[in-house]
Chain A
């Protein structure tokens, strides 16, 4: 039995799960059209779209995790660890964290796919990473730190962060920043969302870099649709110039 909704088509189970969250989804067959309707959610609270059904069926509407940020505001995610981690010199640790995620409704056929809607129950919050003169705006999220895979949630994806301290000193890590829009998403058999493993490398000089590992945080996960274009350059390394 699936507990969550990711990777499923818009069945009554998905619709009722979302209704519990205060979001109403409706697909209405109107001959050669399907009317897609949503009430509730963020950033847009009401959506109505007409889809021609010449080459699609109602079963082709699927829910997949999408990154919970408005690209015009920021494409980076700042994760604030509720309990900072102190990492010993020349050591590597792995932790699990929760990353905010939204529901994306995709329209699939054999050849192509299209994201027709995305929403969350929660409003997105942003923060300035760095100084007001030269910092950058990031999607902001507070997360606990888990040593085991945490409980699955609808509005949070799970990811693994490998922290590698190559420096001669102890390092305290409380912020992890990375280009979230470039990360791969995954789903498991229970319908939970995951994003690819992140590596935080602290160099000998004490500089922090995050990089995308291009690998799922757990084995046996199914890849979600890519949210970055094929021709788009995938930024995989990010300098944490304002500290970690």
Chain B
């Protein structure tokens, strides 16, 4: 042992220096990566990526150090490679999620707080992890979506849009003035702070319906106030028509009875 130390002390020193330098560099890089990522992704994702960087540097450093002191790492590498294949087969889905997660982190198609629509799920992104993303649906349910599903399927990001269009159709009686209805609805919409001044709200006669003239009402709103307009547009349209005395027509049916209907008072 002493002989080995006398012969290889320089290599051993070199190996120790490699490990120390790697520890130093990996710590610095871990912190730098965490700082850089914290503003872009969730804390847990930033931690994961930073740790991955650190341990990768340390593994390489250990291999270099072992080689420098004469340890044959070929066997370990082959064993490691074989183990990797076995683990790879066993954890195919996880690896797919992991790689998809990394690619999503690079692409950044959404951020925390965005409303996204994936498959049948709509909700707010609350956490972006490497393996999965967590969203909270409208009714407060937390849903975990694997990264590979997000990466391989199309999804809608409602919040990323700067401006969004909301439209609704309404009928007015054939006897009512289209101009009066259009003016009343447009004016009502322009009063709302969340309806954009430009592009201006637009109301136009679209077609002739069974109960009246069909008007299409279109208004733009900032992406962040979409729900506000979406949930209030029918109410605003009805209120505008009520104010100018235009009733929204509804289907009416005339019912004929095969035999005279007897009522309590005896009236027919």
Contact = CB atoms under 8 A, between A and B. Distances in A.
Interface of A: 42-43, 72-74, 123-128, 132, 134-137, 140
A105 to B, nearest CB: 21
Q: Is the interface of A mostly helix, strand, loop or mixed?
A: loop
Interface in B196-249: 196-199, 220, 222-225
Q: Is the interface of B mostly helix, strand, loop or mixed?
A: loop
Interface of B: 162-163, 165, 191-194, 196-199, 220, 222-225
A72 B220 CA distance: 17
B196 A126 contact: yes
Nearest to A141: B197
Given A123-B191, A123-B193, 13 more contacts: A42-B193, A73-B224, A124-B193, A126-B193, A128-B163, A128-B220, A132-B162, A132-B163, A134-B162, A136-B162, A137-B162, A137-B163, A137-B196
B167 to A, nearest CB: 14
B222 A126 contact: yes
B218 to A, nearest CB: 12
Contacts of B163: 128, 132, 135, 137
Contacts of A136: 162
A45 to B, nearest CB: 12
23 contacts: A42-B193, A43-B193, A73-B222, A73-B224, A74-B222, A123-B192, A123-B193, A125-B193, A126-B193, A126-B194, A126-B196, A126-B197, A126-B222, A128-B162, A128-B199, A128-B220, A132-B162, A134-B162, A136-B162, A137-B162, A137-B196, A140-B197, A140-B198
A123 B194 CA distance: 9
A43 B196 CA distance: 16
A42 B192 CA distance: 12
Nearest to A73: B222
A73 B225 CA distance: 8
Contacts, number: 43
B197 A132 contact: no
Nearest to A132: B163
Contacts of B220: 128, 132
Contact of A128 (B191, B193, B198, B225): B198
B194 to A, nearest CB: 8
Given A136-B162, A137-B162, A137-B163, A128 B224 contact: no
B112 to A, nearest CB: 15
A135 B199 CA distance: 11
Contacts of A123: 191-193
A42 B199 CA distance: 23
Contacts of B194: 126
Contacts of A140: 197-198
Nearest to B161: A132
A2 B108 CA distance: 53
A88 B192 CA distance: 39
Q: Which of A74, A123, A137, A140 has the most CB of B within 10 A?
A: A137
Contacts of A125: 193, 197
B237 to A, nearest CB: 19
A137 B163 CA distance: 7
A39 to B, nearest CB: 19
Given A73-B224, A74-B222, A137-B162, A127 B193 contact: no
Contacts of B224: 72-73
Contact of A137 (B191, B192, B222): B222
A134 B194 CA distance: 19
Contacts of A127: 196-198
Contacts of B225: 73
A124 B220 CA distance: 15
A240 B191 CA distance: 28
A140 B197 CA distance: 7
A62 B196 CA distance: 33
Q: Which of A74, A124, A128, A135 has the most CB of B within 10 A?
A: A128
Nearest to B220: A128
Contacts of B223: 137
A98 B194 CA distance: 22
A127 B220 CA distance: 9
Contacts of A128: 162-163, 196, 198-199, 220
A2 to B, nearest CB: 30
